[in-house]
């Protein structure tokens, strides 16, 4: 009896050790950032010598502060997820409900292949497209916010597709067939039954996409981000972003005080990610409750 329980106990101990190692690693990273950067967290780090209200209302440009990078990061997230989400939802629904087994196999392989492409390759592709458009269509086209958002959307698209497809396919067969059995069309079944039930899981894919958009540096470095651009005034303007600011500061700092600002920027980036994840969790919880009431 003891010999039969030994593998289960060993597996349980191994799982606990892995969980503790992961938790310890996260705590060490966060603690290191807090220890190095908490002294720099103030309004001067964000707005420099510009009045906060003037910066927020875009009356004055901020020089030496993180506000333009924070604004550029938020705009980049909104644009990238806004572009990728409709495409990912539609593609995931197609693979789960409309595609034949052969088409599902082929397109599923292509999505998996797309998910494995390194971000630097996506950045080079976006940069190449920019050069092509600049020489062929309009010489005023340069790396910009829109090109970066499209490149990041291309990068996160497979995660949203696979999450949507998996969420719909995991719905029990009885639930999937109830509405069609009562006379609902396939579109009505998808929009009124399957999507509301799968939306909670789909949110998880959106959260992963947000995390990828926030942290990626290789793509934006090749497609539009610069060190000092201010808040972008249009989709075709260059922009600043927190990941690139951290990278630039860590590689080009000239004194310890400048490096401390990089640590402060990392803390702010971590705070933005945490706020987005908490918001997504609240939305997920609300959807779960409403789905429980409806179904």
**What pLDDT is stored for residue 20 in this prediction?**
93
Residue 36: closest CA among 193, 240, 253: 253
Residue whose structure tokens are 């990041």: 152
Banded model confidence at residue 3, pLDDT cuts 50, 70, 90:
low
Residue 208 has pLDDT above 80, yes or no: no
Residue 170 has pLDDT above 70, yes or no: yes
CA angle, corner 20, sides to 17 and 24, nearest 5? Answer: 140
Mean per-residue pLDDT, 68-87: 89
Structural domains for the chain: 41-294 (1.10.3720.10)
Over the stretch 40-68, which tens digit does the pLDDT of each residue have?
Answer: 888 888 888 888 787 788 888 888 788 88
Residue 228 has pLDDT above 90, yes or no: no
Q: Pick the most confident of 53-67, 89-103, 277-291.
A: 89-103
Residue 1 has pLDDT above 60, yes or no: no
Mean pLDDT over each residue of the chain, to the nearest integer: 84
Residue 151: closest CA among 245, 79, 228: 79
**What pLDDT is stored for residue 293 in this prediction?**
47
From residue 192, how far is each of 90, 176, 185 by CA, in Å?
A: 15, 11, 10
Over the stretch 121-134, which tens digit does the pLDDT of each residue have?
Answer: 888 888 888 888 88
pTM: predicted TM-score of the whole model, two decimal places: 0.84
**What pLDDT is stored for residue 35 in this prediction?**
87
* Residue 18 in tokens: 């892995």
**What pLDDT is stored for residue 2 in this prediction?**
53
Residue 291 has pLDDT above 70, yes or no: no
Residue whose structure tokens are 């029990």: 172
Distance (Å, whole) CA 194 – CA 176? 7
**What pLDDT is stored for residue 191 in this prediction?**
83
Distance (Å, whole) CA 81 – CA 284? 17
Please state, for a pLDDT cut of 90, what percent of the chain lies above it: 7
């Amino acid at each position: 009896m003891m010999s039969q329980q030994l593998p289960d106990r060993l597996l349980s101990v191994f799982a606990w050790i892995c969980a503790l190692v992961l938790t310890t690693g996260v705590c060490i990273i966060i603690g290191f950032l807090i220890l190095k950067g908490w002294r720099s967290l103030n309004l001067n780090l964000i707005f420099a010598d510009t009045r906060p209200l003037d910066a927020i209302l875009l009356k004055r440009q901020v020089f030496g502060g993180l506000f333009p990078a924070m604004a550029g990061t938020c705009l980049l997230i909104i644009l990238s997820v806004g572009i990728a989400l409709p495409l990912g939802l539609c593609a995931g629904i197609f693979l789960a409900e409309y595609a034949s087994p052969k088409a599902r196999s082929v397109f599923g392989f292509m999505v998996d292949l797309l998910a494995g492409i390194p971000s630097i390759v996506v950045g080079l592709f976006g940069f190449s497209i920019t050069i092509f458009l600049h020489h062929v269509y309009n010489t005023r086209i340069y790396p910009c916010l829109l090109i970066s958002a499209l490149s990041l959307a291309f990068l996160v698209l497979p995660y949203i597709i696979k999450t949507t497809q998996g969420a719909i396919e995991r719905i029990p067969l009885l639930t999937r067939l109830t509405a069609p059995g009562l006379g609902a069309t396939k579109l009505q079944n998808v929009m009124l039954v399957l999507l509301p039930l799968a939306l909670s899981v789909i949110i998880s894919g959106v959260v992963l996409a947000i995390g990828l958009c926030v942290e990626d540096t290789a793509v934006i470095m090749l497609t539009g981000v610069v060190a000092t651009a201010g808040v972008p005034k249009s989709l075709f303007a260059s922009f600043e972003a927190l990941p690139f600011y951290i990278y630039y500061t860590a590689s080009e700092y000239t004194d310890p005080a400048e490096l401390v600002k990089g640590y402060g920027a990392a803390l702010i980036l971590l705070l933005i990610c945490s706020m987005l994840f908490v918001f997504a969790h609240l939305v997920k919880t609300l959807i779960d409750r409403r789905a429980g009431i409806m179904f």
